[in-house]
Amino acid sequence: MADTIPDLTLVSGVWLDVYTASGIAPQSDLIIKNKSSNAIYIQVRASTPTTASIDGWQLNGIGTAAGGEWTTITKVPAGSRVWAKGNGKLFVQLFD
């Protein structure tokens, strides 16, 4: 059974380094689930995305037709990070 990692709290307009915030080692494979009612954006890249950027994956929130979408992120290139932006809670766990 995987260790429990507290949900990450995203602040509107601010990109969060998922690895640093969760304490998970960089380049680890992840499961990410949107637990908020707002859309959350995910990018994999070496540097912090620009504030206005909405490239990457969009995970729709709870209460939308898609309802709390999730994704797996694997094979993150060396030197890259997983970044998240939105407003609400994000579930993160190692993907074994």
Q: Which of 19, 20, 65, 11 is CA-nearest to residue 40?
A: 11
Domain carrying residue 59: 8-94
Maximum C-alpha span of the chain: 38
Written as six digits, the tokens of 23 are 């304490």
User: pTM surpassing 0.85?
Assistant: yes
Residue 1 lies in a domain: no
Mean pLDDT value of segment 20-25:
96
Residue 19 lies in a domain: yes
* Residue 96 confidence (pLDDT): 82
Q: Which pLDDT tens digit goes with each residue over 32-85?
A: 999 999 999 999 999 999 999 989 999 998 877 666 899 999 999 999 999 999
* Residue 1 confidence (pLDDT): 44
How many structural domains is the chain composed of?
A: 1
Written as six digits, the tokens of 75 are 């094979």
Residue 26 lies in a domain: yes
Residue 43 lies in a domain: yes
